[in-house]
Amino acid sequence: MQPSQPIGIFDSGVGGLTVANAIRQILPDEQMIYFGDTFHLPYGDKSADSVKFYSTRISEYLLSLNCKLILIACNTASALAWEAVSETVRGKSLAMNVIDPVIDEVAGNTKIKRIGVIGTKGTINSGTYKLKLIQKNNRLDVRSLATPLLVPMIEEGFIFDDISNAIIRNYLSREELQGIDTLILGCTHYPIIKQQIARFFDFRVQIVDSAVIVAKRLRKLLRENNLLNKDSENPVHQFLVSDYTEYFEIIARMFFEGDIRLQKIDLWSHS
């Protein structure tokens, strides 16, 4: 592997763009190839076998594009398909998920006592966050809540309005999240509504957004493997989708300031 090779990133939709944006800011010389599997969105209500199948197929495709690292920028796929993706890329590229860096960051913070985790049904039902957090720090009181309407709400563009505020208020006022001091946004879509979530708690609850945490861990991993790209000037990123949606392009342009080229790729018709 060479430092000049791109980083491959995938998610079910626009959520992983929050991570890609953080990577662009922290590692401005790295070229990214982003795959949004919008055809199968959302992953959160799919079976574990389906998520593993989609994730390994996308990883194989990103490997064919010569990516030096595959980042699962989706919490559901990180929870359900991490071992499958790791096996797929072993010996060919590096691999990362978006859950483990957050676990390490949170579990080592002695100020955190009662922590909430919100995510898709797939992520929450897997129990991955709760299990790994308590393995690292058995003094933590971990409260989990599935919030399945948030991803389709965001993908449909219902943000910063009465509809999204009502849905957010309904979820965050549930008994499971009462008395928490910290909230993990266990889905890469959720940072898009981070301010609305923080406002619900009157900014008194620490909101853990995985994007910057993951980007810093990625930088560390590349550095340790002598794969940091230091020579690129204004790298051209690729944005691939399995089904074109207007909102994906709107969000991508918001994060990447209009500098995007959206390309539809069919990985499924011949599967």
CATH number at residue 190: 3.40.50.1860
Lowest-confidence range among 76-80, 104-108, 111-115, 258-262?
A: 258-262
Which strands make up the sheet holding 206-208, listed edge to edge? 141-146, 114-119, 182-185, 206-208
DSSP state of 232: -
Nearest of 33, 21, 205 to residue 111 by alpha carbon: 205
Q: What is the mean pLDDT of residues 147-174?
A: 91
Phi, psi of 247 (to 5 degrees): -65, -35
Residue 271 neighbours by CB under 8 Å, 6+ apart: 57
Residue 269 covered by a domain: no
pTM for this model (two decimals): 0.91
* 83 exposure class (CB count in 10 Å sphere: 0-12, 13-18, 19+): exposed
Q: What is the mean pLDDT of residues 223-248?
A: 88
Does the pLDDT of residue 271 top 60, yes or no? Answer: no
Confidence of residue 270 (pLDDT cuts 50, 70, 90): low
Backbone φ/ψ region at 137: left (φ over 0), alpha (ψ -120 to 50), beta: beta
Considering 7, 17, 67, 187, which one is annotated as catalytic?
187
C-alpha pair distances (Å), 137 with each of 133, 146, 180 = 6, 22, 16
Asked whether residue 137 falls in the same domain as residue 79, the answer is no
Does the pLDDT of residue 258 top 70, yes or no? Answer: no
Asked whether residue 177 falls in the same domain as residue 110, the answer is yes
Considering 20, 51, 62, 74, which one is annotated as catalytic?
74
Domain enclosing residue 29, as ranges: 7-97+212-264
Residue 183 covered by a domain: yes
Confidence of residue 259 (pLDDT cuts 50, 70, 90): low
DSSP state of 192: G
Does the pLDDT of residue 103 top 90, yes or no? Answer: yes
Q: What is the pLDDT of residue 45?
A: 87
Asked whether residue 51 falls in the same domain as residue 117, the answer is no
Lowest-confidence range among 39-53, 164-178, 235-249?
A: 235-249
Q: What is the pLDDT of residue 253?
A: 83
Asked whether residue 205 falls in the same domain as residue 120, the answer is yes
Residue 135 neighbours by CB under 8 Å, 6+ apart: none
Average pLDDT, the chain: 92
Q: How far apart are CA 123 and CA 173, in angstroms?
A: 20
Task: Note the pLDDT tens digit of each residue in 171-204.
Answer: 999 999 999 999 999 998 899 899 999 999 999 9
Confidence of residue 15 (pLDDT cuts 50, 70, 90): confident
Catalytic (active site) residue 67: no
